[in-house]
Amino acid sequence: MDSYNQTRQIDEHLVYEAHAELCKVLTDPKRLRILNALREGELSVNELARTIFAEPANTSQHLGVLRRAGVVATRREGTVIYYRLAQPRLVEACRIVHEIVLEQLSRASRMLPTAGEMYDRHPSTQAGYRQVGNTEPSGSAAAVERLATISYES
């Protein structure tokens, strides 16, 4: 291997490492929800906390991770800090991953008899499932279809 290829190999590895690090930032559902919420425009910590159903302190922590990774940027107005997306391309990447997951879910739902079987592993889901069950008698396939229309639709 000549020295050019050696250098190239090292750089290439550096990119894979950095890429994996950036993916790690996205391995938390709350952080993904923050990015999803910010697609509509900038929001304060409190507004974000309400949108993603989390405590403001917890939301701040997640925002700190996203800011340090350069994924979100901030603007101060008086005492309020507003967060916005700093990397629209990363959000587009998330949208693609989201689409893939939706397709996986819809494939899986065709193999499962009801939405209940899919979700009743979670302790707090009984009420939610009954609600879905009432309006969507055809089970999880319909639930997944409904999902596709609410999230990440532009």
Partner 1 sequence: MDRIDDNDTIRQLFRLQAQLCQTLADPTRLEILYALGEGEKTVGELVSLTGARQGNVSQHLALMRERELVRTRRSGNSIYYALADPKILEACRLTREILLERLRRTSVLSQML
Q: What residues line the site for partner 1 (CB under 8 A)?
A: 11, 13-24, 26-29, 31-33, 36-37, 51, 53, 70, 87, 89-90, 92-94, 96-105, 115, 118-119, 122, 124-125, 128-129, 131-132, 143-144, 146-147, 150-151
Beta bridge partners of 43: 83
Closer to partner 1 by Cβ: residue 4 or 78? 4
Cβ 88 vs Cβ 82: under 8 Å: no
Residue pointed to by tokens 């929001």: 43
Closer to partner 1 by Cβ: residue 79 or 154? 154
Shortest CB 76 distance to partner 1, Å: 24
Q: Which two tokens stand for residue 117?
A: 């079987």
Closer to partner 1 by Cβ: residue 81 or 93? 93
HSE toward the beta carbon, residue 55, CA cutoff 13 A: 3
In single-letter form, the type of residue at position 77 comes to E
Measured CA to CA in angstroms, residue 32 lies from 25, 69, 151, 152 at distances of: 9, 14, 12, 12
Shortest CB 60 distance to partner 1, Å: 19
Shortest CB 74 distance to partner 1, Å: 18
